[in-house]
A and B are shown apart, each in its own frame.
Chain A
Amino acid sequence: MRPSKAGKWGTYQIQPGKSKVFRLEDAIQVMFKRVANEVWIATTDLSKKQPDLKPLIPEQTETPEQPEQGLIEVTDEQIEASKQKWMRWALKSGNANLKIVPAFPNLPVVIQPEYSFRLMRGSSARFYTRIPVFIQVRDMDERDLLITEIPSHNLARTWFGTFTDGEICYWFKTTARRELTEDVYRPYLCVCPITIINESEEELYVDKVSIRGEQLTVFGDGKSLWSDEMTIKYKGGKDFSDLIVTGVPPQEAPNATLLNKPRNPVNMGLARRTFRKLHDLHSKIG
């Protein structure tokens, strides 16, 4: 039985010959089909709003009397009519006990706030940003073996670094909110509370922040997905910024339950170059 705070996320069994659908609002739906010891999985990007890619199940609204269901059974006719491109996995146990959990993207995400801001020396700011999660499908009978992971949202990519050294990241333009309002909660977006402390002797201009999701835990409180509390201490100049990840739910969701562990747990005190000051790369192209 999945915990109530997990919302749609949890463990489900797919019986032979049955088809089920997992839907995250108007972002994505994932279809599961069981054929012998195989699990067939297909996805539909609902954000494109194409007429031939309609959701197979209605979006649910959770009430205290009617908890939200994760996987909803659909008929073979519905599945066949949707004309999906299936991916197939033959499972060792053949029971198809699948765990469906949210995870942070497999690359760092560069967040560009809608409006950049400046932090004066010695000051700090706490803001909230949201990152689209990946949907991980794991085989519970094989010690949580990862079967596949599906992005809930097609993220653009960007380059974070110099022309000769850096890394490919996902790119997500969002608002760096100072306060949480009800409209920020979406089932496919993980709310990340970030506190930035400017410990340098200079003004900090924040136009982009790189968030290493691989080091973050995903929590859920039934209303939203949450990352752990992140604190970034900016030291100034070419010094690395310190990233502190607490590993516990943020103060906004104290009772949130653990949904997924970090891909690569952070080493405490690990220095990460997190900020990028205004270095417009294209100005160097000439």
Chain B
Amino acid sequence: MTEWFFSIDYIPVIRILLMLIIGFLLLFLLRRYVTKIISDYYTAHYGMLAGKVVYYLGVVIILVSILHEMGFSLGPLLGAAGIVGLAITFASQTTVSNLISGIFIVAEKSFEIGDIISVDGNVGSVLSIDSLSVKVRMFDNRLLRIPNETVLKSQVFNITRFPIRRVEFKVSVAYKEDMDRVRTILFDLADKNEFALQEPKPVLIFDGFGSSSIDFVFNVWCARTEFLDIRNSLYPDIKKRFDEEGIEIPFPHLSLYKGSVTEPIPVSITQGGLNQTKTEGNT
């Protein structure tokens, strides 16, 4: 045993260990450096991609060097790797599909790290685009992992792709209201709202005669980062101003009938507590 221990040539072993330690140490440093530089000059998305390219290239170089040090010839190894790779490919179709989908996702650039996307109704901020999946931070701080293949097959909305965004406000007023007055008030509110952009100009679209109201869609543009601010400020502004101007925001009314040709059952509402409804007539 002792003889065997002393008969081993330790020089190649030490070399391999040094290659592993120093190689991976340098690789991690290089990866971090490249990621930072590219992120600073371009975007975090490209930084991450460049870092990955550097890392995987480095791993291949280190492994090839170690195998060479161990005395393996690369030719037969590559041949064997091809056969093994083929076998693995058949055995792991989903994984390979995700890998290839990942390449298409990156190449297509539909979204990047930091973008807010909606996939199958799930909305969140893209944390990373990895080899097998896209990681998304949901707004309630859950992590959503979406396989690349799913992303490629799904309808993906990139909410923050463009710098400005249109916000739809659904507004209903009673039939008795003057539509021109409503229009003037809404445009005035948009003009005074600090988050609403002057251009593209707001647009008021007549949406139809509802069951108890005239319905409008009021489209106002804002910076993409102020989507929630404008929603949370303009709706209260509309309510407050309509109250001040005496414009009625209707709610559905229900008429009760008895039989087919009778008058509606008269109902009167009086001030007071829970027993405020008094009915009259034949009930």
Contact = CB atoms under 8 A, between A and B. Distances in A.
Interface of A: 110, 154, 156-160, 163-164, 166-168, 171, 280-282, 285
Interface string B198-218: 111101000000000000000
B237 interface: no
A168 B199 CA distance: 10
Q: Which 9 A-B pairs have the closest CB atoms?
A: A281-B200, A158-B198, A171-B198, A158-B199, A282-B201, A159-B164, A159-B197, A158-B197, A282-B200
A158 B219 CA distance: 15
B189 to A, nearest CB: 13
B221 interface: yes
A166 B200 CA distance: 12
B248 interface: no
Contacts of A157: 197-198, 223
A196 to B, nearest CB: 21
Contacts of A280: 201
B163 A166 contact: yes
B203 A282 contact: yes
Given A156-B191, A163-B162, A163-B164, A168 B203 contact: no
A168 B223 contact: yes
B194 interface: yes
15 contacts: A110-B199, A156-B198, A157-B197, A157-B223, A158-B198, A159-B199, A159-B221, A160-B199, A163-B200, A164-B162, A166-B163, A168-B163, A168-B197, A281-B200, A285-B200
A163 B203 CA distance: 15
A171 B191 CA distance: 11
Contacts of B200: 159, 163, 281-282, 285
Interface residues of B, number: 16
Contact of B199 (A154, A164, A167, A281): A281
A35 B208 CA distance: 61
Nearest to B166: A285
A282 B196 CA distance: 14
A163 B200 CA distance: 9
Contacts of A158: 197-199
A73 B273 CA distance: 58
B115 to A, nearest CB: 15
A257 B194 CA distance: 35
A169 to B, nearest CB: 9
A282 B162 CA distance: 16
Contacts of A166: 163-164
A152 to B, nearest CB: 16
A273 to B, nearest CB: 15
Contacts of A282: 200-201, 203
A145 to B, nearest CB: 25
Nearest to B221: A159
A194 to B, nearest CB: 20
Contacts of B219: 285
Contacts of A167: 163
B281 to A, nearest CB: 52
Nearest to A208: B199
A168 B196 CA distance: 11
A158 B193 CA distance: 12
A154 B201 contact: no
Nearest to A160: B199
Interface string B210-246: 0000000001010100000000000000000000000
Contacts of B221: 159
B111 to A, nearest CB: 15
A160 B201 CA distance: 12
Interface string B155-173: 0000000111010000000
A76 B255 CA distance: 64
A153 to B, nearest CB: 13
Nearest to B192: A156
Interface in B89-113: none
Contacts of B197: 157-159, 168
A47 to B, nearest CB: 13
Contact of A285 (B163, B191, B198, B203): B203
Looking at B164, B198, B201, B223, the one whose CB has the most chain A CB atoms below 10 A away is B198
Nearest to A286: B203
Interface string B168-198: 0000000000000000000000010010111
Interface in B32-51: none
B198 A281 contact: no
Contacts of B166: 285
Contacts of B203: 282, 285
Contacts of B223: 157, 168
Contacts of B164: 159, 163, 166, 168
Contacts of B196: 156
A44 B191 CA distance: 22
Contacts of A163: 162, 164, 200
Contacts of B194: 154, 156
A171 B194 CA distance: 11
A163 to B, nearest CB: 6
B194 to A, nearest CB: 7
